[in-house]
Amino acid sequence: MRLGTVARSGSTQAFRQEAGETVYLPVPDVGALLAGGDLSLPGEPGPAPAPEELLTPVLRPGKILCAGLNFHDHAEEVGQEIPEHPTIFAKYANALVGPVDPIAMPEESEKIDWEAELVAVIGTTVRHADAGRARAAIAGYTIMNDVSVRDWQGRTSEWFQGKNFDRTTPVGPVVVTPDEVDPEAGLAVRCTVDGVRHQDSSTDRMIFSAVQLVEYLTRFMTLEPGDLVACGTPAGVGLAKKPRRIWLRDGQEVVTEIEGIGELRNVCTPAEDLLPR
């Protein structure tokens, strides 16, 4: 099953896809669908949405929890030990954009980098989960590009300010339920910039699996429907390129793919050229 959110005549609407059929649902987004607790909610059949109609599936996630340093190949390329505990940082919804929206390139930086990531979307309220309950709390998986403003990220010990520029983080295109995709079995994760493939790894190279991250997070906090858990990026980020670092430039197209889920396709656009939302 695939769940998504579209823009529709000035409003928004969730949809469900199964066995080639699309059903439009009486809720404004996948977040509301998950909060309602009934994924089989009745709706109206309709044509499959065009890619450009798709919005980020959960419009205003309550939490966007991100794991850093969570791929063996990425920890190695940035010269870090394999960590004993997950490294967690936070984003807020203002950072998000949809699967084909422009990435708002801040003029305050020239060191803007890509980070293809798997995202687990939480479907139930959960605290103190064991592995089984953590697995059951994941409603499905989607894709993020955790576009990172490296100079701001490195200003202090806390990465927050490099990870929260408005409209820099595409998420989508849909949420795919766990019966259709199994990250632990290995899903290809790729990031391509203007046709050059920079990241090409697999979700089975994660240090902590999505299930383990959910289990860990619920040791200290309650997760709720619509919360996102981003699982970290593999090797190939611009920061680690040799002999010199590479950064995103205005006008470039970033394609972020995860096998079995789909792709994000976003053009780097000067933030000052974008209309306020």
Length of the chain (residues): 277
In terms of CB distance, is 40 or 94 closer to its own copies? 94
> Where do we find the tokens 């996102």?
228
3-state secondary structure of 51: helix
Which residue's CB is nearer to its own copies, number 95 or number 235?
95
Amino acid at 173: P
Taking the least distance from each CB to its own copies, the nearer of 6 and 105 is 105
Residue 258 CB, shortest distance to its own copies, in Å, is 24
Q: How far apart are CA 135 and CA 129, in angstroms?
A: 9
Pairwise CA distance, residues 109 & 151, whole Å: 7
Whichever of 244 and 277 has its CB closer to its own copies, that residue is 277
Nearer to its own copies among residue 17 and residue 87 (C-beta): 87
Task: Give whichever of 61 and 178 is closer to its own copies, judged by the CB atom.
Answer: 61
Residue type, 196: V
Going from the C-alpha of 176 to that of each of 58, 254, 258, the distances in angstroms are 13, 21, 11
CB closer to its own copies out of 8 and 127 = 127
**Shortest gap between Cβ of 116 and its own copies (angstroms)?**
20
| Residue 36: count of CB within 10 angstroms of its CB | 14
Closer CB to its own copies, residue 18 or residue 166? 166
CA distance 2 to 168: 24
Are residues 65 and 229 in contact, defined by beta-carbon separation less than 8 angstroms?
A: yes
Residues at the interface with its own copies (CB under 8 A): 62-63, 68, 83-95, 106, 108, 127, 149, 152, 155-161, 164-166, 219-222, 224
Least Å distance, CB 251 to its own copies, is: 22
From the CB of 40, what's the least distance to its own copies, in Å? 28
Residues with Cβ within 8 Å of residue 96, at least 6 apart in sequence: 56, 61, 64, 167, 169, 170, 171
**Smallest distance, its own copies to C-beta of residue 88, A:** 5
Distances (CA, A) of 161 to 37, 113, 118, 165: 34, 14, 21, 7
Minimum Å gap between C-beta 272 and its own copies is: 10
- DSSP secondary-structure letter at 250? T
Nearest-approach distance from CB 107 to its own copies, in angstroms: 10
Helices (H), 138-197: 150-153
From the CB of 243, what's the least distance to its own copies, in Å? 26
Q: How far apart are CA 50 and CA 54, in angstroms?
A: 7
Q: What residues contact residue 204 under an 8 Å CB cut-off, 6+ apart?
A: 183, 184, 185, 186
